[in-house]
Homo-oligomer: A and B are copies of this chain.
Amino acid sequence: MITLYHHPLCPQSRFVRLLLGEYAITPELIEEKPYERRRDFLLLDPSGQTPVLVEPSGLVLSGPGPIAEYFDETRGLALGRGRLLPDDPASRAEVRRVSDWFCQKFFQEVTNWLVTEKVYKRFMPREQGGGGPDMELVRAARSNIRTHLRYIGYLASHRNWLAGDRLSHADLAAAAQLSCVDFLGDVPWDENETAKTWYARIKSRPAFRSLLADRLPGISPSPVYADLDF
């Protein structure tokens, strides 16, 4: 069985969970709190960041990009027309560009601030930086997401999916980030109908179900979080 070290509100972990869902793989999920810097986890992967995936062979893979590429290389053919990376190099480059946009840029400008301030800091000891949220960062993230939502709307109005004709890593990467922010109730869905329609399509895929069932102690998801007709 595949093991995935993840955190429920780590967007890069969610990307890998969506990916595994598309491959119809149910992993054993082990919840990791990266801020605890657990020794055995650091021995698995010295960066100390989720997600880390362990193959049944014992092979350890870490990071959303390397994991997604590895799955395409080892199991992509089996997805047939549903393969998550296109065939030609230029289209593949576009999928990777849009994936990086969400895994890196959206993460740094939106998700990381919201999840760190509103979730992680709540569970961290004060001497490690825990405590109440810095509302200036929360406000900056809430402002930044509006630009990203417009960009999603722009991409989705020019293409069938975010990086081309077919569902790809790019859609999973974007949906993973948005789903964390949506859990916290910070996506202004009313501002972009096209982005909302794209998200409704991906949210209704079977791969999404395990994410919608996520709960955290003491933090309720927003009312629309698990609603397919939000």
Contact = CB atoms under 8 A, between A and B. Distances in A.
Interface string A67-94: 1011001100000000000000110110
Contacts of A189: none
A3 B160 CA distance: 30
Interface string A52-75: 000000010111011101100110
A92 B104 contact: no
Interface residues of A, number: 24
A69 B92 contact: yes
Interface stretch (A14-22, A95-103, A216-224): A95-103
A46 interface: yes
Nearest to A98: B66
Contacts of A96: 63, 65-66, 69
Nearest to A90: B59
A93 B47 contact: no
Contacts of A69: 92-93, 96
A105 interface: yes
A92 B70 contact: yes
Contacts of A100: 63, 65-66
A123 interface: no
Contact of A89 (B47, B65, B70, B93): B70
28 contacts: A46-B151, A47-B101, A47-B105, A59-B90, A61-B93, A61-B97, A62-B97, A63-B96, A63-B97, A63-B100, A65-B65, A65-B96, A65-B100, A66-B93, A66-B96, A66-B97, A67-B93, A69-B92, A69-B93, A69-B96, A70-B89, A70-B90, A70-B92, A70-B93, A73-B89, A73-B92, A74-B89, A104-B104
Interface of A: 46-47, 59, 61-63, 65-67, 69-70, 73-74, 89-90, 92-93, 96-97, 100-101, 104-105, 151
